[in-house]
Amino acid sequence: IKSEIKMDIDDPPVIYGLETQARALCSVPALDDSQQFIIGTQGLRVEHNQLHLLTFDADTNSVSKRIFDHGRDEIWSVSVAPHNPNLCATVFNRVTMDSGTNPSVAKRWCLWKLPEEEDNQTPRHRNSSEDALTSSSLSSVESLQSIGSIELEQQGEPRCLAFHPERAEAVLVSDGGLYQLGLGSGAVRLLAHLPAKDGRSQLRYWHAAWNPHHSAQQVIAACDSGGLRGFDVRCPPSDGPVVVIDNAHNGQARCVDYNPNKQYYLASSGDDGAIRFWDTRQPSNPVKMLRLHKHWACCVQFNPYHDQLVLSGGTDAKVYLTNNRSISSEPVLSLDDDLDDDDDDDDRRQQQPELDEDRTVSVVEEHEDSVYAAVWCATDPWLFASLSYDGRLVISHVPKSEKYRILL
């Protein structure tokens, strides 16, 4: 494992490198409000795949890490429970060799408990440029404690696991549909199965997100047909979806995320490279569309605090941070503007057109391979991380100018 820090004069992004490929990235809602991310390695033929729990130190602009062993199973997806930062789930690929000649590969998932940090251990390793080479040897690899996984009917290939934002529940996204799981009292049990059927035709879900509003009773999934399907978990599965957005994307829909501050609004990304914003009450037309990515847009996420900031990453190795003020929960005009004359207001807008217009705030150019995951820090609204396939994690800041513009 090699890590490096790239220092820039102004607002430098921090780069952390893995030796293997990686797709799995998740922000950790740490209890002490430290800025943590967890990434998983994807090494098919590697003896030890690992989960890296990275803690960003804003003062020194550096990263310290804890490493957990994940065995031979390559990690495709990782997620951390919002209500319990020690509970994490991975979706992984397990290769089994039948008598050495006939290999078989199976996608599986498992819930893990991250071990508590031991006090007597040496302090977290600081990854600075000086000890970059030695850090890997110093770091000790901890082991994960498996909480368990259950075998599900018609499971197919699992894709990812979406924890419920409040309750001890989760939804497993897999080929066979959505599986609502109860995680309470130390055991995993199946609560409901929402089959991935659309009338006659079989769908394949790729990603799912909980609706954080109304005590999170709805979950929406992105399909490989390009559509979105939303379900209400209070309804019996036979009722079918409550939200149907067909052809949200030309090609596969890759990611979906609910606006945390504005009800009914969500964003989706897909293989057509577009980010589309939807109002679930009017699913026929998107509220807004961004065409920034030149190839697949793999992930999209609203900032958990300032929902006008939207992060998206794509296979064109770009991460875009956009400000979509016009469709955000931010009021269109501040109170002062309301009091002014219209003419005055227009003048001001003409003078500072960039202030209210939707725009691309910044582009993360540090990646050289496809970016499959980009997430906001769960505890800091001005920090985000993106992971490219070549194992490069870039922790970036929202530009200060933008930050002050939003805050002030």
Q: Which is nearer to another protein, 252 or 322 (CB)?
A: 252
Q: Which residues in 313-332 are b (16+ Cβ under 10 Å) and which e?
A: bbbbbbbbbbbbbebbebee
Closest distance between another protein and the C-beta of residue 367, in Å? 11
Using alpha carbons, select from 144, 77, 9, 38 the residue that is nearest to residue 378.
38
Closest distance between another protein and the C-beta of residue 104, in Å? 7
Q: Is 396 left (phi over 0), alpha (psi -120 to 50) or beta?
A: beta
Cα(333)–Cα(144) distance, integer angstroms:
50
Q: Which is nearer to another protein, 145 or 285 (CB)?
A: 285
Q: Which is nearer to another protein, 21 or 396 (CB)?
A: 21
**How far from each other are the two terminal CA atoms of the chain, in whole angstroms?**
41
Closest distance between another protein and the C-beta of residue 162, in Å? 19
Q: Which is nearer to another protein, 125 or 159 (CB)?
A: 159
Closest distance between another protein and the C-beta of residue 43, in Å? 9
| Residues within the interface to another protein (CB under 8 A) | 21, 44-45, 93, 95, 102-105, 247, 250-252, 271-272, 294-296, 315-316, 368, 370, 389-390
> 3-state class of 385 per DSSP?
strand
Closest distance between another protein and the C-beta of residue 106, in Å? 10
Is 29 within 8 Å of 35 (Cβ atoms)? Answer: no
| Paired residues of 111 in beta bridges | 89, 148
Closest distance between another protein and the C-beta of residue 144, in Å? 23
Is 124 within 8 Å of 137 (Cβ atoms)? Answer: no
> 3-state class of 142 per DSSP?
strand
Is 155 within 8 Å of 174 (Cβ atoms)? Answer: yes
Q: Which is nearer to another protein, 296 or 384 (CB)?
A: 296
On the CB side of 211, CA atoms within 13 Å amount to 23
Measured over the CA atoms of residue 214, residue 244, residue 375 and residue 193, the dihedral's sign is positive
Closest distance between another protein and the C-beta of residue 370, in Å? 7
Q: Which is nearer to another protein, 139 or 388 (CB)?
A: 388
Number of continuous H segments (helices) and E segments (strands) in the chain? 5, 33
Q: Which is nearer to another protein, 257 or 316 (CB)?
A: 316
